[in-house]
Amino acid sequence: MITKSILLVEDNQSDIELTRRAYERAKLPNPLVIVKDGQEALDYLLCEGVHANRSTTELPALVLLDIKLPKKDGIDTLRCIREHPVTKRLLVVMLTSSIEEKDIADSYDSGANSYIRKPVDFNEFAEMLNAIGLYWLVMNEMPPQFKPRTPEL
């Protein structure tokens, strides 16, 4: 069985490093792919631009999407993900430091599967990533197009 990646969309280098360290501590088996803005996330998911050599059959199991991003913010990126037939069922968790009600409402209105505020404490952050992995990648029933396929005999 192929272990699908997790796509982290984050522009803040400190948050990227914190996530990497917490990810390693959580011991998630999924490879972590990092892109730094909303447009690069869409290019990665839709296999365009510098990611044109990827296959759309290699979508990540989960997208962790920040809201405050350059080029295309997280809400606009989420809307584009939901509008495209290849990515419309992709699991997207908004992972952000924002607690603004408008951001929360806009995220859910745009099709977010979940909205999680980034903990400041490293240990809490690692526990949160472990819980995200356990719930979304183990307990949650994935949409059919995202389940790893077993080869036909």
- pLDDT score recorded for residue 151: 39
Q: In 10 A of CB 92, how many CB atoms?
A: 27
Q: Does 97 fall in a domain?
A: yes
- pLDDT score recorded for residue 60: 93
Q: Does 153 fall in a domain?
A: no
Q: Does 75 fall in a domain?
A: yes
What residues are paired with 7 via a beta bridge? Answer: 33, 63
Range(s) of the domain holding residue 38:
6-140
| Total count of domains within the chain | 1
CB 101 within 8 A of CB 70: no
Question: 126: domain CATH number?
Answer: 3.40.50.2300
How many whole angstroms from its chain centre is CA 47? 16
pLDDT by position in tens, the chain (length 153): 467 899 999 999 999 999 999 888 888 888 999 999 999 999 999 999 999 998 877 899 999 999 999 999 999 999 999 999 989 999 999 999 999 999 999 999 999 999 999 988 889 988 998 899 888 888 888 777 655 444 343
